[in-house]
Chains A and B, each alone.
Chain A
């Protein structure tokens, strides 16, 4: 009975933690939406993607959240506006890498979530903004720390 109660409490606690993290990301998406006067695309069955991510851990990703904005009127100030929106959120995000080139820009933020480290990547390119929140395993974090410039560039040019 006691064991069942502990398991139930642990499950409730972990569910609440995941829910809290989702809410933080939703808050950022909302702030960016307000800033850009745009709504993110609806991605059907995204829950399945996350389940597959949780099982397969591709590139060390344990969990991910995604929001895509299309048909945006972007200018030179967009990156600053997005940075402002992320900076005003409560997620404890700290600026890590900011990269710009060839008409594209990437902002990467890092934050601690209990024993994990999470990254928030905002990739801006020709009328499109992709916001990705990634919870990474230690190997993936070390790869980012070793080569932050290269890792950020890969977000701009994933094919390379």
Chain B
């Protein structure tokens, strides 16, 4: 009896560590019905392998991307575009943000642009002291993009992936900041 109780306590205690995959909450499907355009890009490990065969080693840009995706298990991008502002609320993202909490996840970058009202956040997932994935959340008044990258990736390599596979480019280097844009963390 004690063994069973211990087992259940251990399961509950370890549950947050096992909640590794970023799951897109069901309310995002409801959000999809309001959006004027919805795009899902899926690159599982098989497609990433296939993709890497077609990235040229001779092209420096392709070669960098190829190197980065060699350690990845999957890239998933979901973007919503709305006709008008205010069609989605911060509360719609709350179930997603709940998943992106410690101990597994931590926010490493937050870029807020007052000029374009764009807010970009990068979260990193750590497993046993190693990075196991990244999540990117880009919110604009009429657009919302969620990216989940699974596998070993250095956050510095994110800039290599930006602009490929539907991943938005994120400028996190303060030297290249736009006017009115600032890194808040």
Contact = CB atoms under 8 A, between A and B. Distances in A.
Contacts, number: 66
A30 to B, nearest CB: 25
B93 interface: no
B39 A99 contact: yes
Q: How large is the interface on B (under 10, 10 to 19, 20 to 34, 35 or more residues)?
A: 20 to 34
Interface stretch (B40-48, B96-104, B122-130): B40-48
Given A138-B54, A148-B165, A94 B38 contact: no
Nearest to A150: B166
A96 B77 CA distance: 10
B70 interface: no
Interface in A107-160: 110, 112, 117, 138, 141-142, 145-149, 152-153
A105 B41 CA distance: 14
Given A101-B81, A138-B54, A141-B54, A149 B47 contact: no
Contacts of B164: 145-146
Contact of A100 (B38, B44, B50, B77): B38
A90 B183 CA distance: 49
A110 B52 CA distance: 13
A39 interface: no
Interface of A: 94-102, 110, 112, 117, 138, 141-142, 145-149, 152-153
22 contacts: A94-B44, A94-B46, A95-B42, A96-B41, A96-B42, A98-B40, A99-B38, A99-B40, A100-B38, A101-B37, A101-B38, A101-B81, A110-B47, A110-B50, A117-B50, A142-B56, A145-B55, A145-B164, A146-B165, A149-B39, A149-B79, A149-B166
